[in-house]
Each structure stands twice: as structure tokens, then as C-alpha cells.
Structure 1
Amino acid sequence: MTEMVRKITLSRAVRIMQNLFPEEYNFYPRSWILPDEFQLFVAQVRMVKDGDPSWKPTFIVKPDSGCQGDGIYLIKDPSDIRLSGTLQSRPAVVQEYICKPLLIDKLKFDIRLYVLLKSLEPLEIYIAKDGLSRFCTEPYQEPSPKNLHHIFMHLTNYSLNIHSGNFIHSDSTSTGSKRTFSSILYRLSSKGVDIKKVWSDIISLVIKTVIALTPELKVFYQSDIPAGRPGPTCFQILGFDILLMKNLKPILLEVNANPSMRIEHEQELSPGVFENVPSLVDEEVKVAVIRDTLRLMDPLKKKRESQSQLLGKSLASKENAPHSDLASASQGNANPDAHLPSICLKQVFPKYAKQFNYLRLVDRMANLFIRFLGIKGTMKLGPTGFRTFIRNCKLSSSSLSMAAADILYIDITRRWNSMTVDQRDSGMCLQAFVEAFFYLAQRKFKMLPLHEQVASLIDLCEYHLSLLDEKRLVCGRSGTSSASRLQPSGTPQEAVPPAPPAEGRPQPCTDGAHKVSHSRHTVS
């Protein structure tokens, strides 16, 4: 999971979704991956500046493996000499810097929200009802060459600002340099801000981000869990870092796979002597997240509930038992969570699945990718697997021979492997497969938007594979029947397959894969 939310991996996953649904994924800043896309970064910035000489952007450079603000800095131009050092040292992501954030008390702040990924299949997402608001410790000014190096003004990382002389540890959840997000919402509400709209936009951002990440997670998961067997009860608490712009639009900064769960901070009593002091804000938010995660993930919860129901029925059938004894017995076996506070984690998926399922195109591509992997434990598709995919999905034609498919595999795989640090496994990774799939979709359905091209090709592949599966099933039944020398009373009835998708247009999907009219979502 840690690999999946590193800055480069996250940027690539979101970029795929931005190509498919640009309006839906405009909550993530435009990003370039260094060193691979440095020349592209330079060319695109130069092109925009040539078209608009008044454009004076600021960019933020984030090392891929960095954490707690380590190695982050701001630049005004790709020619900044520090970039050359980044190119030579370690991979990084460079993004457009958000110059107009929402300010509270003239200070920039971000939001740390805790998200529980309870299950991959089926996908289950929970969001904590409260989070942390982490403040800078120097009044904000828009970036200029004079203040680019003022980290306490521009970077909200707690691990950086804790070293500022202006950092305020407060005994209140609504003051100081770290506050509860609920206190910020209360303050905004008092100024007439539509808090439900803010929460709705944040929930939408979280769901869309997880949808972007789950395809690769599925590939990782299948490499460890045997097919056809229930996997272990896995879960992950993610830390989403979100910035509110001045117009209250939420922007995704990054996702942390191992968010800090400390509920205290160090206080220096005397030179070299430190003491851990409880943090009221951290305790209020984080204890609830951990407690309720364990309540949701309790593997014995369903067993206790079923036993309690059986016991209740048994007690109810004993008419001769005194009423007081029945009451005490039923109370003794009541929900053990009854004395705990109401759960702080709110389910947002599959609760709002109907509004977002049409975005899960890459998820369906990942299922195709996994089907043709072949060797258990691998996460890369070999040339034989790719050829089998082309053949079984009936994608070869006069315009795309198997030889052309082989060349496509070689070209895309070679380029992606050159960008991968880990060269232990050879073959086509999921993101390379997605690129190849996009290419095939654009060739076959030329007159449609990209997301409809991709959805149509997925439908076509799934249709042909369903026919193949049905044929294998019928052959298997026939083989079993012949082996046991049964005398059938009639010819086996083969299931009627669905009609093939039309070549030029996408067909309606029951899971809403083509409902592209949802440009905005209202969730509560």
C-alpha cells in the first residue's frame, strides 16, 4: 500500500483518470514526473507562457519518497538551478502550486482526513467525521522570489512548523497551530458558508481518489492471495491531505499510507530534557478513528450478533421463564459496543456507488489484466499473455495483425520498464497495459470521446470472454456427461449469450459505466 500512494504512483493513477474524465478529476494539480518528464515540463510551461505572457506560475517540487515535508521546495521557473540537483539525486513530482488558498487568521492551513479502506472486493470506504487542521506559522503571502524559501509560510506540514517559534500548542480544539476540522467548519458556517456542500465535495474527492488507486491495489492483492479463496481481513487507514482554495474547492495534496497516530508532542522542559505532553486535538480525533476501525473490522462481530439473535429466540420461546430473568439475560448478551460513543466513521462507498460506478473503467481493465497474467504471484503481463488477450477478445483484424500487436507490446513495455527502478520482473505492468488498451480503443472506436472508446472496448472484451467462458462450461459439462456414460434425454441447452456491443457506439451498462452526465455529485 505504501508503494501505491507514493507521489509518483498517485500522480500516474490520477492522470489516467484525468485523461478519461478531466472534469471529474480536476481536484488534483497538474503534475510532471521527474526526471522522466522534465523536457515535457519545460516545453509545456514555455508554451503556456508564450500564449499568456502575464502568467507567472509557481511550482512545488516533492521528492517521491519524501515524508514530513522533507526535501520540498518552491520554484518559479523550470530553469531553477535546484531542479538539476533533483534530477541527479532522486525522482520527484513537480506540481502547480495553489497560490490562492483559504486563509484562517491570515494563515494557510490544510486538512488531514482519515479514510478507512475496509475492503477491496467489494470496495468499502469510510471517512472519519472529523479531522485535523494544520496551520502554517507565518502569515501567508502569494509566492514571490523574496518569500519562496519561507517554509513556515507555504508548507503546512506539522513536522516542519513544530520547529517554528510561532507554533502554538493549545488546550483548545479551536485555537492554536493544530485544530479540529470541525472547529474550522463551525467557524465557516458562522460566516454563511454551506458546510454540507464543502463536505459533499470532500467526500467526492476521496471516493474518486480511491477509485483511481484500487486497480493497482487489486493487482498487488492477487499476487499474494490464491485465486478462489477468501483472503485475510485486510484494511488500511489512509491520511488524505486536502487544501481548501479561497473559493472553497478542495484540492488533493497527497495520500499517506502510514499517517501518524501519535496523540502527544514533545515539550522541552530544560536544555536536552523533553517530556511527552498529551495533545487534546490529536486525542479527540485519532483515538476515535482507531477505536472505530477496530469495531468495524472485528472478525468476531458477526458471529456474536448471530449468536445473540439465536439466544434471543431461545429465550423468547421459554414462556415459563420469569420476565426479569429474560430481560437480564437478553441485556447480558446485548451489543458490547452499546456503551461506546456513536461510530465516527461514515460509510461513503458502496453507499454512493450508483453515483460513481461509471468512473470504474480502469478497475474493469485491471480485471482483464489479472485474467491474463497466467503465472501466480506475478504482477506483469508477459508477451504470451498479451497475445492471448488479443486473440480471446477478438481484437486482431486486417488493420491490427498479431505481429503488430507484438510490436505494440514491445514498444510500450520497453518504455515503461525504462521508467521503473525495480527491474526484477520483466513484462507489461498494469499502467502499460492501460496505455495499450487506450491505443486499441482509439483505433477501434475512432469517432467517440476517449472514455466512451475505452468503455466500448471493455464491453467488447467482456462480451467475447463471456462467450468463451460459456463455451468452456458447456464443453466441461459434455465431457463429464460422456465420462459417466449417462444417456441424456435431450440436447444440452446452451445459455443464450448477450448481444455483442455495436462497433460504433457504446451499449448501456447495468453498472452505469457510461453515465457520463454526472459532472457533479451531491453526497451527504
Structure 2
Amino acid sequence: MVKDSDSSLKPTFIVKPDGGSQGDGIYLIRDPSDLRMISGAHSKQAVVQEYIQKPLLIDKLKFDIRLYVLVKSLDPLEIYIAKEGLSRFCTEPYQEPSQKNLNQVYMHLTNYSLNVQSSNFVHSDSTNTGSKRTFSSILYRLASKGVDIKKVWSDIISLVIKTVIALVPELKVYYQAGIPPGKPGPTCFQILGFDILLMKNLKPILLEVNSNPSMRIEHEQEVSPGVFEYIPSPVDEEVKVGVIRDTLRLVDPAQRKSPHVTSLPLGNGSELREDILEAGSPEKTESGDGVHVGNSLPSLCLKQVFPKYTKQFSYLRTVERIAVLFVRFLGVKGNMRLGPTGFRTFIRNCKLSSSSLSMASVDILYIDITRRWTGMVSDSREAGMALQAFVEAFFYLAQRRFKALPLREQVASLLELCEAQLEGGEEKRTLGTRAPGERMTAQGPGHPPGLHPAHTQAPAQLGSPAAVRKPHNYRLHQTLRPTLQESTDN
């Protein structure tokens, strides 16, 4: 299609096998006919991305950035970003892709596991030289050339927050299926590895999210013919030890709970840029991190970016609100698909049926959309309507109900209508069961504003670190697979 619109354009695409790791099986193509179709028992799906042909170069080499992100909890959503990251370099000078150099992996692929096999790979005792360096060393080098590195950081943080917000709706569905109702569950978390590429214009591009990033701080080195030793890597140690240490400090249940963090308007983003680069003190924790730190420990290298900057990104959480409705009507604990009875109950409780939308029409809508999505999402063997299908149905209902409004406002209006109807129903039930003289609040007795009684148990965390896939606890890294390419590398 691109060539038909402009024959002079010659885009390159990068193909990544689904479930692959460490760069295994990745290759570049310039024409769809070059896609390697493997049939039979070894058939694999793949992610195909447009190749970024004009990356930022350092010393004429292409590089990417590995940043570690802690998702501390889902409800409320808490995200932390490590202030230091890794910069991983190719080992051959970069040239824009051509038919002649498409197979030169050391030029195009930044994966450490590939480039460490190159004779040009440089293991360095310094954090600012060699084939693996700290991200801060790159930022200082850019700053010396007049680059606004605070804006670079601000753009990267926005990218991370938007990506996690995009994952949350589906993760919440998996979470409710694995954690018993009415119990806080274990203290759970997930460390994600974000692979980011800076373009020549310094715009950050998300390459992929690794749900099980390597935390090794050493590499194998041949000290004599046939004799190998594991040598500590100063760069890995500098970055990864702090991430693990601070994660354990933040999720330690013995620590006091984080104080309420007020939403801060970011305006043009200057506050965010100043905040992420501020220097910490070894004697105290940073304001708002909510962890008491003794004099023997360094200050946190993990910086909270959500909910601290929630106001700037709250407009992106529409699908998450739809997912909350979806979970509410799933019925039996452990289900991740909505049955026809649950869908009818949703329509009835939100008072969405009318003379123009009969319950018979609702049943037809359910069957039509569910059938279309069957086989398109993970766990398609389960019967019923998946979250993605429910979102489509919700959009359809919003368009029918609020025809005169733009689509975004249609969906927002239907959400407000459903939430108000459900809140009113909860209040009526509470009024009918409360004891004589019991004091009422707007949402019922003992419930904070904005929460329904069904959702006021202890804040949900992610799946247990020791979880298995079935029947209950579900690890976060498994839930990422339907949404993002999973890849593990060093």
C-alpha cells in the first residue's frame, strides 16, 4: 500500500517471532513476500513493526535504552521509573537499511545477547564507555551538545505511563480471576523492562516491553582458551542492584503506607522534567515516595510517576472504566468471559434498554460481537464475551444512545450514565438493609466517595510472585502476552 501511494518510498520492516527472546529469530524485510512463512508443527506467529531508519547515533553506532519500570499495584495504579538505565550498542557502524545489509544483525539489532558474540563487542570497566553504558552517560553527552535532556526524560516518562495505562484494563480482568474476593492477597508487583529507541530528532519510540527482564549483573568471559569465568559488569551492577533494592523497600509490608499524593497539573511539563532529575539525599527518602529510609541506605533510584502525574493522563483511562463495568458483571469468580445472562444484567441494571433497543436486540448484539471476536483474543477456548468484545459493544451502545455527540463524548456520557445508575442501585440496597439510626453517606455507610461497596476491599496488587497459571493466581508477565511482544534479553 505504501509503495502504491509513493513508489519512491522503500520502508523496511522488522519481524519478531512471538514468544522469542534475546534477539533469536528476528530479521528485516523490505517486501511482504520476504516474510518467512513456517507451516506445520513449527508454525509461529510474529510481530511485524516498521523499522526506524533514522535512529540517533553515538560514535556512529545505533543503540537502544533499557529502562526498568516497577508496577507496584493496579488499584490504585502505582508506577515507578528507575532514574538510571542501560544503553546497549550495536557493534558495527550504522547504515540505513538496504537490500545488501538487511542481514547484518550487528548493525541493526541492539540485543545484548547478539552483540556480545561479536568480535567488536567491548566489555568496559567504565559506565560511560564500551558496548553497554549507563543511560545517564548518554544524556550528559547530549547535554554537552545543547540538547534539552529534561524534555527527553519528560517524553520518555509520558511514553511509559501511556503504555502501562493501555495494559491496565486487561490486567484487571486477569487479576479478579486470580485473587479471592474480599481478601487483600499477597503483596505483589512486577518489574518491566522497557526497550526504547531515540530517533534522530530525539523522539522516544517504544520498541517492546519485556515482562521478565534479565537481572544478571555479570557476564561470561573467556580468560584462557576454553576457560570461562563470570565477570561482574559495573554497568549492570550500577543499574540493576538499585532497582531490586528499591523495589523491595517499596513493597515491604512492614513499611508505613504511602501518604495520599495529590494530583499535580503539569502544564507544559516543566515540573515533570525538573522532578525526574532532582538529586536525592542519602539521609532521607524523596517526598511522596512514602518509604522511611535509614541513614545506612542510599536514596531511592525509583521515582514515582503515577499517580503523581495522574491529572495529565486521566483522559486515557476510559477503557479502564469500561473494564471495571465488565468485571462487575462477570459473575462467577475466576471467569474472564461475560455470558449472555451477565450482558443482559448489565443492560438491565444500567437501564439501557428502550423501545428502540429491546432485549431481543441485546441478545443479537451479544451473539454478533462475541462470534466476531472468538479466536481473535487469548484463551479463545473459553465461551463468552471477552473484554475487547465488550468494549466494542459498549462503543456501539454509546453511539446509539448519544448520536449527536462526537464519539469520545458518546462513550464518556454512557460511562457516566452507567456509573450513576449502578451507584443509585447500590444506595437503594444499602438503605433497605441498614440498621435503625445508622448514618448514611452518598455512597453508603463506610465507603469513601467515588467507590462502590463491591470495590472497597484492600487495594489490589498484581499476581503472586509464586503464582501458577491455573486455577487462581496469574502472573503479570503471562497477562502481557495478548497485548505486547514478550521478549527477554540481557
The one of 173, 196, 200 equivalent to 1:246 is 200
Deviation at 1:49, TM superposition (A): 2.8
Partner residue in 2 for 1:297? 251
Deviates more, 1:154-163 or 1:228-237: 228-237
The code of the aligned residue for 2:192 comes to L
The one of 109, 113, 117 equivalent to 2:71 is 117
1:128 aligns with 2:82: yes
- CA distance in 2 between counterparts of 1:408 and 1:88 reads 37
The code of the aligned residue for 1:168 comes to V
Partner residue in 1 for 2:175? 221
- CA distance in 1 between counterparts of 2:297 and 2:441 reads 55
The code of the aligned residue for 1:125 comes to I
Deviation at 1:494, TM superposition (A): 10
Partner residue in 2 for 1:406? 363
Partner residue in 2 for 1:485? none
1:376 aligns with 2:333: yes
- CA distance in 2 between counterparts of 1:274 and 1:376 reads 52
Evaluate the alpha carbon distance shift between residue 83 and residue 246 of structure 1 in structure 2; reply closer, same or farther with a 3 A threshold.
farther
After superposition, what is the alpha-carbon deviation per residue over 1:364-391, rounded to whole angstroms, capped at 9, x for unaligned? 0111001000001111111111111112
Q: Secondary structure at the match of 2:63?
A: strand
1:476 aligns with 2:464: no
What is the Cα-based RMSD across aligned positions, in Å? 2.4
User: How high is the sequence identity, in percent, across the aligned residues?
Assistant: 76
1:53 aligns with 2:10: no
- CA distance in 1 between counterparts of 2:404 and 2:227 reads 70
- CA distance in 1 between counterparts of 2:367 and 2:292 reads 58
Q: Secondary structure at the match of 1:226?
A: coil
Q: Is the 8 A contact 1:474 1:494 kept in 2?
A: no
The one of 384, 402, 407 equivalent to 1:427 is 384
1:362 aligns with 2:319: yes
Evaluate the alpha carbon distance shift between residue 86 and residue 151 of structure 1 in structure 2; reply closer, same or farther with a 3 A threshold.
farther
1:230 aligns with 2:187: no
The one of 151, 156, 159 equivalent to 1:205 is 159
Deviates more, 1:85-94 or 1:433-442: 85-94
1:80 aligns with 2:37: no
Q: Is the 8 A contact 2:71 2:191 kept in 1?
A: yes
Partner residue in 1 for 2:273? none
Q: Is the 8 A contact 1:364 1:458 kept in 2?
A: yes
After superposition, what is the alpha-carbon deviation per residue over 1:206-248, rounded to whole angstroms, capped at 9, x for unaligned? 1111111111111111112223332221111111111101110
Evaluate the alpha carbon distance shift between residue 195 and residue 426 of structure 1 in structure 2; reply closer, same or farther with a 3 A threshold.
same
The code of the aligned residue for 2:296 comes to H
Partner residue in 2 for 1:66? 20
Pairing of 1:374-523 with structure 2 (within 5 A): 374-420=331-377, 422-477=379-434
Length, aligned pairs only: 411
After superposition, what is the alpha-carbon deviation per residue over 1:117-142, rounded to whole angstroms, capped at 9, x for unaligned? 11111111110000000011111111
Partner residue in 2 for 1:521? none
The code of the aligned residue for 1:189 comes to A
Partner residue in 2 for 1:272? 226
Evaluate the alpha carbon distance shift between residue 275 and residue 205 of structure 1 in structure 2; reply closer, same or farther with a 3 A threshold.
same
Evaluate the alpha carbon distance shift between residue 398 and residue 336 of structure 1 in structure 2; reply closer, same or farther with a 3 A threshold.
closer
Q: Secondary structure at the match of 1:418?
A: coil
- CA distance in 1 between counterparts of 2:192 and 2:54 reads 26
Q: Is the 8 A contact 1:86 1:92 kept in 2?
A: no
Deviation at 1:115, TM superposition (A): 0.6
After superposition, what is the alpha-carbon deviation per residue over 1:373-428, rounded to whole angstroms, capped at 9, x for unaligned? 00011111111111111121122223332222222222222232222463442111
- CA distance in 2 between counterparts of 1:66 and 1:470 reads 50
Q: Secondary structure at the match of 1:339?
A: coil
Deviation at 1:53, TM superposition (A): 2.4
Deviation at 1:81, TM superposition (A): 4.5
Q: Secondary structure at the match of 1:147?
A: coil
- CA distance in 1 between counterparts of 2:89 and 2:345 reads 54
After superposition, what is the alpha-carbon deviation per residue over 1:405-455, rounded to whole angstroms, capped at 9, x for unaligned? 222222222232222463442111111211221222222233433322221
Q: Gapped runs of 5+ residues in structure 1?
A: 1-45, 306-333, 482-487, 498-524
Partner residue in 2 for 1:99? 53
Deviation at 1:354, TM superposition (A): 1.2
Q: Is the 8 A contact 2:155 2:203 kept in 1?
A: yes
Q: Secondary structure at the match of 2:14?
A: strand
| Higher percent of residues as helix | 1
- CA distance in 1 between counterparts of 2:207 and 2:440 reads 56
Q: Secondary structure at the match of 1:266?
A: strand
Q: Secondary structure at the match of 2:294?
A: helix
The one of 152, 170, 192 equivalent to 2:106 is 152
- CA distance in 1 between counterparts of 2:219 and 2:306 reads 34
- CA distance in 1 between counterparts of 2:226 and 2:400 reads 67
Evaluate the alpha carbon distance shift between residue 113 and residue 436 of structure 1 in structure 2; reply closer, same or farther with a 3 A threshold.
same
Q: Is the 8 A contact 2:29 2:35 kept in 1?
A: no
Q: Secondary structure at the match of 1:436?
A: helix
Q: Is the 8 A contact 1:111 1:181 kept in 2?
A: yes
Evaluate the alpha carbon distance shift between residue 336 and residue 89 of structure 1 in structure 2; reply closer, same or farther with a 3 A threshold.
same
Q: Is the 8 A contact 2:61 2:90 kept in 1?
A: yes
The code of the aligned residue for 1:445 comes to F
Deviates more, 1:372-381 or 1:389-398: 389-398
Q: Secondary structure at the match of 1:111?
A: strand
Evaluate the alpha carbon distance shift between residue 124 and residue 216 of structure 1 in structure 2; reply closer, same or farther with a 3 A threshold.
same
After superposition, what is the alpha-carbon deviation per residue over 1:235-276, rounded to whole angstroms, capped at 9, x for unaligned? 111111111011101111111111100000001234432110
After superposition, what is the alpha-carbon deviation per residue over 1:11-50, rounded to whole angstroms, capped at 9, x for unaligned? xxxxxxxxxxxxxxxxxxxxxxxxxxxxxxxxxxx2x332
Structure 2 length as normaliser, TM-score? 0.79
- CA distance in 2 between counterparts of 1:197 and 1:268 reads 42
Deviation at 1:86, TM superposition (A): 11
Partner residue in 2 for 1:10? none
- CA distance in 2 between counterparts of 1:139 and 1:495 reads 65
Q: Secondary structure at the match of 1:166?
A: coil
Larger radius of gyration, structure 1 or 2?
Answer: 1
- CA distance in 1 between counterparts of 2:41 and 2:311 reads 43
Deviation at 1:113, TM superposition (A): 0.3
Partner residue in 1 for 2:133? 179
Q: Is the 8 A contact 1:60 1:96 kept in 2?
A: yes
Evaluate the alpha carbon distance shift between residue 88 and residue 440 of structure 1 in structure 2; reply closer, same or farther with a 3 A threshold.
farther
Structure 1 length as normaliser, TM-score? 0.74
The one of the two structures with greater contact order (alpha-carbon pairs below 8 A, sep at least 6) is 2
Deviation at 1:88, TM superposition (A): 7.3
Evaluate the alpha carbon distance shift between residue 335 and residue 493 of structure 1 in structure 2; reply closer, same or farther with a 3 A threshold.
closer
- CA distance in 2 between counterparts of 1:407 and 1:61 reads 39
